[in-house]
Amino acid sequence: MTRIQANLLLTVIAMIWGSAFVAQSHGMADVGPMMFTGVRFLIGALVVLPLIVLERRRPDARPLRRADGGKIAGLGLLLLLGAALQQVGIKYTTVTNAGFLTALYVPLVPVLGWLLLRHVPHWSVWPGALACLVGAFLLSGAHELQVGLGDAWVIASALPWAVHVLLVGRVADRLASPFAVAGGQFLVCGLVALLWALAFEPWSLAGLRAAAWPLLYTGVMSVGVAFTAQVVAQRHAHAADAAIILSSETLFSALFGYFLMGDRLAPLGLLGCGLILGSMLLVQLLPMWQALRPARATSHAQT
């Protein structure tokens, strides 16, 4: 896979994730958030299962140890926390708000990389993170001294999403088994969420049947296809390219929310969206631009 092909694949992933917010919102009319999360991630695990079998049958496949299983389980729990908080939030907020507020994880990733892994971030991270927080403040309605319940849940999901994004690539690279990592984390996330739902949420077979299409779409496309393709694509795409392209999930969620759900934003909400999107692009594009300047100067000097 070439870098251009990987970037195109990441664009498709962002579009799938953006559209999945609509399906997640519709599905919540018939089942609880943990039941929805559990079933869709188990569907995703089933989608990836054939790829895991083929991957593990390769002659050069690295044996998975107990410690590897622990790392995959840890990713699954992070995935569960992020997905569950987001799913609860979607029940009480709009698709557009959920899409943009989820993207708060983008500027968090380099900050956590500095705190947890001692990776010193580019200076643009700090104004970018501040702009992102101000954007969330405006979008969530906090300027009116009332943060929406759904917005607060979605904002909380940004932290586990960020930690997951920070660690999933490292685990997949070390194990050299992207499909096993993807499917294993889906299985852990799905099982824990389902057990929680069976114990603490009201549910019925009629509700599951009514939510069948949202569950199938998000399980097959958002989880099975998109999350797995992300692991594969980021092995071939430049990290900066991947972050920028995946952040377009927010724009797709706004477009799908506008055309399919009738979502509309007030001027301050639009300003908040613009600040969040601008901060995401700032922390990715500015370091790239500054890195290219010496190369361009050297090229001009040689000519």
Contact present, 111 and 125 (Cβ < 8 Å):
yes
Instruction: Check residue 196 and give its pLDDT.
Output: 95
> Which tokens hold the place of 138?
């405006």
* Low-confidence residues in the chain, pLDDT < 50: 142-143, 145
Residue with token string 């580019």: 122
Task: List the domain boundaries for the chain.
Answer: 3-56+63-290
Instruction: Check residue 168 and give its pLDDT.
Output: 80
CA angle 179, 183, 185 (to 5 degrees): 120
Q: How far apart are CA 252 and CA 19, in angstroms?
A: 7
Instruction: Give a three-class secondary structure readout of the chain.
Output: CCHHHHHHHHHHHHHHHHHHHHHHHHHCCCCCHHHHHHHHHHHHHHHHHHHHHHHHCCCCCCCCCHHHHHHHHHHHHHHHHHHHHHHHHHCCCCHHHHHHHHCCHHHHHHHHHHHHHCCCCCCCHHHHHHHHHHHHHHHCCHHHCCCCHHHHHHHHHHHHHHHHHHHHHHHHHHHCCHHHHHHHHHHHHHHHHHHHHHHHCCCCHHHHHHCHHHHHHHHHHHHHHHHHHHHHHCCCCCHHHHHHHHHCHHHHHHHHHHHHHCCCCCHHHHHHHHHHHHHHHHHHHHHHHHHHHHHHHHHHHHC
Instruction: Check residue 145 and give its pLDDT.
Output: 44
Instruction: Check residue 296 and give its pLDDT.
Output: 55
Q: What is the pTM of this model?
A: 0.79
Instruction: Check residue 205 and give its pLDDT.
Output: 93
Instruction: Check residue 166 and give its pLDDT.
Output: 80
Instruction: Check residue 210 and give its pLDDT.
Output: 94
The per-residue pLDDT for range 8-60, each reduced to its tens digit, is 788 788 889 888 888 888 888 889 999 999 999 999 999 999 999 999 888 88
